[in-house]
Structure 1
């Protein structure tokens, strides 16, 4: 797909059509064309199940400080999603197709209170890249193909969200309240932006940090770039006895305030274990260290260019 088309997903798969040993007779052009005519349609039907290219970049780079996406946070079966709704891209998400949760969502903070009609959405191009790029309303009874490609509303029913006697619910990584128009608020309700979050945390200290604490931090900032992500956990939700959605062990937020020249002025980070109602501040250096430990590779947020002093909070997580 072309970048100018604001592609929702950036596909990847290496297809080996045939292998020739040295000295083998190579098919002539006619035979080759006949083989391609047979193979290409097959590739097209399978394309929706292939991985998104490792090392590729988001086309919606406007949601990252200096246009640089984080490094080191790409899962094995990833999908880069430019979240498109009502003809506009609203934020970017790195999605884990295997665990059926977002690893992070990135956006620009632009808060304005307001009401809207809440509906939940799914990403049609996770089902098949031939589908349209805009998110679609989640049907009451999702098809088998949708269920195989991502989380669905049924996964988030109350009876499926009780994990070891703790109640979880839908936790938005990119929160509704950080946006100033109806369509952007609606776009955050795609299930590709949602993870199972401890209900007490979601409605408790996390809400306080998303609200008052973030609002105070952004005062005086020309722009604030935000990345909200997770560390995947060992537990899963089950729907009809089927293992479905990963329950993150931690949820974290990193925000970078920049001035009119685009230079970073300050950093705000916080993190929570996803099994109790407690949030702690964390520096950029320590957050990157913690993520490196969890993901097994060097992690850089904001291209390493946002001010943040080192502390030792990671030792407590």
Structure 2
């Protein structure tokens, strides 16, 4: 199971059940995607080092019981190309402990191995589901074509409504790229999914649907002329359900219920603490301060 930093407490799944931790050896080989090589304090379980063409691209904490990631962590870079046309990928390591650590293309028109289907989401889950494949680590935040292709693994994807994915949430991702222009150090990003408060929502009775998306970034050094309120950290929460209550994010009629609310890192951490029923959480070491 996923454990807290002390190892003494058990983290319950953010959908209310246990999270099993046999999905990978952990983040030990890809700590570079976390600020100061420190994973979020309070959650220290196994994760996936996302490998493509024999190179680590980003890190993901995955719940194979619910078949979605909890979060993906990456270093934001200005893109030098367009969104690639690439097959969706799967993680063999989730299906077998003896499998390789590199993501593989899911073969078209071929029945997916049952062990793979049991351990993770597959492309068929999303077809005709009413949901888009929502990236946590978006391809638009990656520099090289191979880095962008690597984000098209289904372990980096959650069911996201089109109105969010191509609307306010997409606008937020573009705004983060603009802020990156004022960042004079690396910009570390952690983007995740937040569960419904009580009832579980699933597509095809397999893949769990988040009620909200959330993200936070850390830029240790930045242009002194930049907006000081948005550095060194800032965060946001976006609605993924038009009918959700407005306790976290208020609705604006112009956004059709898919509003995004920007906030301080501390505010996001408090929301996650309450929604995930955690005793405490810290996404970046020392709040991203030297």
Q: Tell me the TM-score normalised to structure 1 length.
A: 0.71
**Pair 300,155 (structure 1): closer, same or farther in 2 beyond 3 Å:** same
Task: Show the counterpart of 2:40.
Answer: 70
Instruction: Tell me how many residue pairs correspond in the alignment.
Output: 241
Distance 1:155 1:201 in 2: 19
Aligned to 2:270: 289
In 2: Cα distance, 1:279 partner to 1:105 partner: 19
Contact (CA 8 Å) 2:72, 2:137: kept in 1 or not? yes
Whether 1:150 and 2:150 are equivalent positions in the alignment is no
Aligned counterpart for 1:274 among listed residues 240, 247, 253:
240
Out of 188, 200, 203, the residue aligned to residue 237 of structure 1 is 203
| TM superposition shift of 1:306 | 2.7
- 8 Å contact from structure 1 (residues 52, 80) kept in 2: no
Separation of aligned partners in 2, 1:56 and 1:145: 20
Structure 2 unaligned segments of length 5 or more: list them.
3-19, 223-229, 242-256
Q: Distance in 2 between matches of 1:193 and 1:183?
A: 15
Alignment of 1:122-271 (within 5 A): 122-140=90-108, 141-158=111-128, 161-162=129-130, 168-211=131-174, 213-221=175-183, 222-233=185-196, 234-238=200-204, 243-259=205-221, 265-271=231-237
Q: Is 2:26–2:49's contact at 8 Å kept on the other side of the alignment?
A: no
How many angstroms does 1:54 deviate by? 11
Q: TM-score, normalised by structure 2?
A: 0.78
Distance 1:176 1:197 in 2: 16
Q: CA RMSD in A?
A: 2.3
Which has the bigger relative contact order, CA under 8 A and spacing at least 6?
2
Whole-angstrom CA distance in 1 between matches of 2:239 and 2:179: 22
Shift of residue 55 of structure 1? 11
CA contact (8 A) 1:265 1:306 kept: no
Residue 71 (structure 1) shift: 2.6
Structure 2 match to 1:303: 285
Distance between the aligned counterparts of 2:124 and 2:235, measured in 1? Answer: 32
Choose the corresponding residue for 1:118, options 83, 86, 105: 86
Residues 58, 80 of structure 1: 8 Å contact kept:
no
1:270 deviation in Å? 1.0
Q: d(CA) in 2 for partners of 1:118 and 1:95?
A: 22
2:62 corresponds to which of 91, 95, 100 = 95
* 1:37 alignment counterpart: none
Q: Distance in 1 between matches of 2:90 and 2:192?
A: 19
Greater share of residues in helix: 1
Task: Structure 1: state its 5+ residue gaps.
Answer: 1-9, 11-49, 163-167, 308-317
Larger of the two Rg values belongs to structure: 1
1:159-210 deviations in Å (ceiling 9; x for gaps): xx23xxxxx2110000000011011101100000000001111011111110
CA drift of 1:57 comes to 4.8
